[in-house]
A and B are shown apart, each in its own frame.
Chain A
Amino acid sequence: MNAPTRLVEVRTKILKQNDVLARELRERFRQDGVTVVSLVSSPGAGKTALLEDLLLRLRENYRVAALVGDLATDNDARRLARAEVPTKQITTGTVCHLEADMVADALQGWNTDELDFLFIENVGNLVCPATWDLGEALRLVLFSVTEGEDKPLKYPTIFNTADVAVITKMDLATAVEFDAAEAKRSLQSVRPGIETFDVSAKTGEGMAELVERLRSLRGLGDASNQQEAI
């Protein structure tokens, strides 16, 4: 016979540690006056190409830097270093996403108060990064025209946690018969009201508008409309 059991009430967030650290990071970034933007997408959606172009455009007027997460290799950091801004690779080993402590560790030795924009490129993955707050002010979710219009419906959680959606590789839209209206319907279905930018890092299409959106974050403090995790 099983012994009778009872419940002792505990109300604690499972990711308490990450949440506390992310909150501390967000406060530090606010005090340092650095606008932190993270990028999430599936592998190959064009995060690094987009980031390279954003860094080149923003560095004219701002002090910019980037952290890039990958399971292995520092190819992305080396690629971004061509934009001649500080970059650092976070190699996660077998971990499929970035966590707040990885960001905090990577920032050791960096004076974030000497930056205007810090970008954090998450590991290419449309599932796991959704769960971890990194202390960013704005989360961009990218998907490319080659991935299909229903990507948001397949990965609703990550799209729901994002503040802004960026449809990439627009230069290929015609070739792959991308249905932009259908893609927007999918996006609005999983994340009503989400702001969307159609861009091509290759041709520059839509990049000025996206840059303008990021510039609008400066001086406004935390412009995120991302909801506090419950």
Chain B
Amino acid sequence: MALKLFDSKGVSLDQQRFTWKDMVQAPISKLDDEAFTRVRIILMNGLETEALRFQHLCARMNKELQVPLAKVRRVEQHQQTTVNWLISSDHSPLETTIAYEQVAVEVTAAVARNEPDPYLAQVYRFGLLEDFDHLYRYSALLDRLEGKDANNILQSHTDIIPGRPTVDEHRAPENDLRDHYDRTQATPITKLHATTIMAAEYQTHDFYANIGPMYADPVARQLYAEIASIEEQHVTQYESIIDPRETWLEKWLLHEATEAYNYYSCVEQETNPRIKAVWERFLDYELGHVAYVSELLKKYERRDPAEIIGDTLPDPIPFKSNREFVRQVLNQEVDLRTRGTQFVDKAQEDPASLEYRRHINSEGSPSQTVAAGYQWCPGTELNRKVA
């Protein structure tokens, strides 16, 4: 059922309260919960951390919004804690990494399939093939470092094969920027998609940047360094598709609407009743934030929020395997590269990227090393190699 964004005022901000016990609930089971429950948790953590990041930047630039931002941000902080603490401690950082890449593959694929703007759909497909390759590299690392099978996390929803090779993803910075949507013309779903994927990629970058040094193994330390660098490129790419002419309040409203949209998608598809209750509660909280920011937009900019984001949330993001779509994109677009904001065949790639790549890979490529001769096999490659 379609959800009207402004009909429900959700839970009012002053009623959005937490205790430490509600924030620190029993986590999911790594073994028994559905992979897509974990995907939703990671995605929503990305949205919540983006909410905090954006609201801090907004506060630095807007004195009159500092109090309202501080009030909303306190709730976002506790929502983020509640959501992220659902990941159980028996996930090794590398197993969580596999799950992050499953988010990047399956959510980006769903967005690419549903994005009405053809250029932006291409942007998502381009990024998708790179994250798809990261999944293969990290799966090789998990197998060869910890002796574990990445499919225990993926649950057969996502293929483990090379994508656009990570070694070729390193580009000169100017070739990571894209053209942005037009805030006056773009459909609401285009805006929601852009903030969703930007948030997911940002948290992935920060996660890798923080856990990389927790590894002792030099190959793991190098691989996290390399893939964190690509995630930074992806943040650059996805940030640039958002119209920079949006006002601070307009962006704030879009962030809140994106959170509401994603919690709505989670509520509609969650199979674990205890986790679904978390999504329902936070959907109501986010509708409260949308209502609160809408009033600020009316007060300071005298604008109708529905002009920015419509009044009905689009159909939920489908959380399911996109195997055939990903294979088709891989088959047709693996050789795409970039020249400025445009996608070109690898023969036409901007020489600045080639030069950048020549140097950064000149002492070896961690992503090539880790996956040397690697083909995924159920039960790890030892299952195939040891008679």
Q: Do A and B come from one complex?
A: no
- Hey, which bits of chain B sit against chain A, CB under 8 A? none
- Hey, which bits of chain A sit against chain B, CB under 8 A? none
